[in-house]
Amino acid sequence: MTEVSYYPGCSLHGTAREYDESIRGVADLLHIGLHELEDWTCCGASSAHCTSEELAIELAARNLAIAEKSNRELLVPCVACYSRFKAVEMELKEGSRKIRFPYQGNVPIRYSLDFFCNGTILEEVKKKRTKPLSGLKVVCYYGCLTVRPPKVTGIKEYENPQHMDHLMECLGAEPIPWSYKTDCCGASLVMTRTDIVRRLGQRILSMAKEAEADCLVTGCPMCQANLDTRQEELEKEAGERYDLPILYFTELMGLALGHKDVRKWLGRHITDPMKVLKGKGLM
């Protein structure tokens, strides 16, 4: 069994519960042991870096120091948390900043999408797949922080990443090529510039519909919430009907692998995915 440390982050204990539960469910089916970090705290991704540079670094460093007590990789589902951890890791390795926590920079930090797209895991997914997602057309939406900045993430194909596309193919779905997979949805501006958020969200949803996708798939709690909850508002503004389910890649993994709780996860979405999935004979 593969054993990894697990940092769920704040979103997965609140608005993104279905992401947390689907990760845990899929990990169990694939015999991956998740060890949630003891006494973890917020990494500061949402606001600490706007108020205090020291706080932004120390919040992340504290969690990394806890993870470093084991010899396991650290699995991070929230891309904002992942970005914060990777940025702090780089700063501490390259700089001379002194911190209160004894973090030595020896924790392999893995974003959940990258982790589950590992070749060995993909092979296991193929073996254990019980319900191929045949006929389901998806657009893979990586968002901006998943792959950028490449100096921090280490992603080589940061303009046109393919790993989620390959995962969807393994599940039996059809990933549709499109040009907006790494565009920003504006989630970081939801409290300050909703005009920009609406414009960016409209473009992504419109282009996904133009590509004739049945759903949009992501691994970012902020992108998921932003694109899922605003559709009614954006439809009225644009005069266009979207009705596009915004799903986590782990939910589709759970569906293809036959997890018993898939219906519960999908039931938490604002834009109901059941009509599309029932129409494809997948539910």
pLDDT above 70 (res 49) = no
Q: Which of 95-109, 123-137, 188-202 has the lowest mean pLDDT?
A: 95-109
In this prediction, residue 92 has a pLDDT band, given cuts at 50, 70 and 90, of: confident
The structure tokens listed for 256 are 């293809």
- pLDDT score of 75: 98
CA-to-CA separations, 154 to 28, 114, 125, 148, 150, in angstroms, rounded: 28, 11, 25, 8, 5
Q: Is the pLDDT score of 67 beyond 80? A: yes
pLDDT band, very low/low/confident/very high, at 24 (cuts 50, 70, 90): very high
Which residue is listed with tokens 């108020």? 51
pLDDT band at 222, cuts 50/70/90? very high
pLDDT at 120 over 90: yes
Of 15-29, 145-159, 250-264, the one with minimum mean pLDDT is: 145-159
Whether 273 contacts 261, CB under 8 Å:
no
Please tell me the pTM assigned to this model.
0.96
Number of residues assigned to the chain: 283
**Could you give all domains of the chain from N- to C-terminal order, each with its CATH number?**
2-113 (1.20.1050.140), 131-279 (3.40.50.11810)
pLDDT at 22 over 70: yes
**pLDDT at residue number 34:** 98
Structure tokens at 56: 């932004």
Asked if pLDDT for residue 107 goes beyond 90, the answer is yes
The 10 Å Cβ neighbour count of residue 160 is: 12
**Contacts with 97 (C-beta within 8 Å, 6 or more apart), sequence order:** 57, 91
Residue 128: pLDDT band (50, 70, 90) is very high
Give the mean model confidence (pLDDT) for residues 231-258: 96
Residue 96 has pLDDT above 70, yes or no: no
Q: pLDDT of 209-221, one tens digit each?
A: 999 999 999 999 9
Between 99 and 247, whose confidence is greater? 247
Higher pLDDT, 191 or 173: 173
Tokens 């504006």, located at residue: 186
What pLDDT score does 98 carry?
75
- What ranges make up the beta strands (E) of the chain? 2-6, 32-36, 74-76, 109-111, 137-140, 174-175, 215-218, 246-248
Answer yes or no: is pLDDT of 95 > 80. no
- pLDDT score, position 54: 87
Share of the chain above pLDDT 90, in %: 79
